Amino acid sequence: MAKLYIESLLGENERILRSSRQHWFVLASSIFFEISVILLLFAGVITAVLFYQELAVLIAGIGCLLILLPIATMTRDILVWSSHQYLITNWRVMQVSGVINKSVIDSSLEKVNDVKMTQSALGRLFGFGDIEILTASELGVNKFQRIEEPVHFKTAMINAKEAAGRSGYPAPAPAPQPDIPNMILQLDQLRQKGILSDEEFNQKKTELLTKL
């Protein structure tokens, strides 16, 4: 589903050069609390059942309901992380986020003025960092936080910008050519109705024929 949505955002001759996400540290830090709560609840239910065996069914039922809450929030965090993507195409840099309600921020490679990368010691060790894209648009700065393999992402972006500069951006579609014979036919109909004189018709006809 996410792949189909991203493909729908691409232009006719646009192609994805690199796709990336936030580092798995981001996901791990989000679901660590939920996993801890699930384990504590599970241990609490087992202990309560052992001590109060006559209420085992009731305790197990309440425990299952309580465990569903952190499972639901953990599932949400996983979906949010997996749907947050950073893309480099041959035209632009894109940031796509949102599970149901989608948000798309893109910066044309032509407008990218500078790229700033920041990596902490931990980021260099595990391969994550922040990338700031400074553009000439009104947004000014587009920041990708804790992205995986930021060095490779930055390099791919610079290479894409250079390649776009060499090849140029897609030219706008040519304006449709006027249908000269049909225009002459319409002028002749106006002449037959007396709206145009023979002299005016011949003059307009000559002008149109020179455009062929």
86: its two tokens: 């950073």
| Greater model confidence, 137 or 36 | 36
**Amino acid 170: pLDDT:** 52
pLDDT at 9: 80
Mean pLDDT of 117-129: 89
Q: 88 in helix, strand or coil?
A: strand
d(CA 145, CA 26): 10
pLDDT value, residue 174 = 52
What's CA 18's distance to the chain center, in Å? 12
- 7 forms bridges with which residues in the sheet? none
20 SS3 class = strand
Question: Domain 13-22+85-168 belongs to what architecture?
Answer: Roll (2.30)
pLDDT for 139-193, tens place per residue? 555 788 889 988 898 888 888 888 877 665 554 455 566 677 777 887 777 777 7
pLDDT band at 136, cuts 50/70/90? low
Kind of pairing between the strands at 141-148 and 16-21:
unpaired
pLDDT average, residue stretch 10-22: 86
- How high is the pLDDT of residue 72? 92
- Tell me the percentage of the chain whose pLDDT exceeds 90: 4
Q: What is this structure's pTM? A: 0.63
CA separation (Å) from 186 to 175, 189, 194, 212? 21, 5, 13, 17
Quickly count: other Cβ atoms within 10 Å of residue 184's Cβ.
15
Q: Is the pLDDT of residue 138 over 60?
A: no
Sketch the domain layout of the chain as residue ranges. Answer: 13-22+85-168, 23-83, 180-207
Report d(CA 105, CA 102) in Å as an integer: 10
